[in-house]
Structure 1
Amino acid sequence: MNLVERICGHTWMILRHKYWVFRFCCIAGIPWQGFMHDWSKFSPTEFIESVKYYNGKVSPIKICKRENNGLSMAWIHHHGRNLHHYEAWWDNFDHGAHPQDMPYKYAVEMICDCLGAAKAYGRDKFTFQAEYEWWQNKCATGIGMSPNMQAFVEMILSQLAATEDLTLLRPKSLRQIYAAAVKGGTYEGQEIRA
């Protein structure tokens, strides 16, 4: 793949992803966050590295990490500037580092990002069930997310897989699930535990 093809392919991938995240964010009541989502992907640090490793099949960041002993400057730049990534919510590094709960608006954007990525990258293969299975596999291999945030994501993705009902992404439902996950409690009779 030549440079022009990699630039065009990567740009189209970013725009397709932003489109889907924006759609999910509109349903979730955070359209401005959906619009502002991932603009840092066009910064030189992220864009140049991603174009260099773009092949249209696998995340350029995964390829870069594989070829550079796990290091991707694009990824470090990205999750440090986009607070919808749980990796940005670690603190107390001098004493072992601990994942923190994300504020509501970033936790919701994280869900929209997850679904938007699956829609953009999975295209016609997208299903809520497939996304939930991806999440379960991710958790099985270990995830550096606070237990409360794991419970929040688990509840939403499991419910979407079971019902395929996008009304779950409306603010009222999301706020109830978030509150139950962070404070401990129930949502529609289901206990949520971190």
Structure 2
Amino acid sequence: MSFHPIRHFITITRHRHEVVRLCFKAGIGFQGFFHDLSKYSPTEFLPGARYYSGKESPNNGERRDTGMSLAWMHHKGRNRHHFEFWYDYEMATKKIVPMDMPDRYIKEMFCDRVAASKTYNKESYTQESPLLYLTKSTAKEKMTENTYKKLLFLLQMLAEKGEKETLRFIRRCKDLPLAEIDGKQLP
């Protein structure tokens, strides 16, 4: 295992700059300025440099090595654009369950997922990459139905209509629509 602080810094900064660019085009530019700043903290940066591969999140390397990712736990607890931030106790059952994400953070999550797909897929990135990543994951089981449907709607729109049109839609949209899981006609 190597230590790659410069490569890691370049990767997270490239990703962050792409998220900021997308956030501005989506009408949430101010929010974009604060995106992922915790990645530069020692708690996240040092494991990121230690487990850097350039092909996947360093958090996966930390998980393989230690059984968990302290960097990820730190990150998700400070960044509201991650659905994992939005968990709380349900009073009736005392179980920890997902909560609906506010639309402003779903918009940032969209920008984050597009930027991450571009960062890790590089030249093999397509407009469908973020949608495929979502639908192949177990995220649906871990988000509220409303949060999942809203993110799905945006990623389907990206796949079908492209980045420019989807960002224009997000910028103009106060309340995000819900996708029909079996396919909804996009606006």
Coarse TM-score class (shorter-chain normalised): 0.7 to 0.9
Superimposed CA distance per residue, residues 71-108 of structure 1 (whole angstroms, 9 cap, x where no aligned partner):
11100100000111000001116711111111121111
2: CA distance, partners of 1:76 / 1:35: 22
What is the DSSP-based 3-state SS (H/G/I as helix, E as strand, rest coil) of the residue aligned with 2:131? helix
Which residue matches 1:68? 66
Letter in 1 for 2:50: K
Checking the alignment, whether the CA contact within 8 Å between 1:108 and 1:174 is kept in structure 2 is no
Which residue matches 1:105? 104
Letter in 1 for 2:10: W
Checking the alignment, whether the CA contact within 8 Å between 2:82 and 2:109 is kept in structure 1 is yes
Distance 1:135 1:2, change over 3 A: closer
What is the DSSP-based 3-state SS (H/G/I as helix, E as strand, rest coil) of the residue aligned with 1:81? coil
Gaps of 5+ in 1: none
Which residue matches 1:19? 17
Checking the alignment, whether the CA contact within 8 Å between 2:54 and 2:120 is kept in structure 1 is no
What is the DSSP-based 3-state SS (H/G/I as helix, E as strand, rest coil) of the residue aligned with 1:175? coil
Which residue matches 1:119? 118
After superposing on structure 2, the runs of 4+ consecutive aligned residues of structure 1 that deviate more than 6 Å are none
How many pairs align? 180
Shift of 1:2: 4.8
Checking the alignment, whether the CA contact within 8 Å between 2:127 and 2:162 is kept in structure 1 is yes
> Identity across aligned pairs (percent)?
36
Which residue matches 1:53? 51
Distance 1:2 1:168, change over 3 A: closer
The correspondence of residues 33-182 of structure 1 with structure 2, limited to 5 A, is 33-69=31-67, 71-92=68-89, 95-139=94-138, 143-170=141-168, 171-176=170-175, 178=176, 180-181=177-178
* Bigger share in helix: 1
Shift of 1:174: 3.8
TM-score, length of structure 2 as denominator length: 0.87
Superimposed CA distance per residue, residues 131-166 of structure 1 (whole angstroms, 9 cap, x where no aligned partner):
211111014x75411110100011111111112152
2: CA distance, partners of 1:111 / 1:29: 13
TM-score, length of structure 1 as denominator length: 0.84
Gaps of 5+ in 2: none
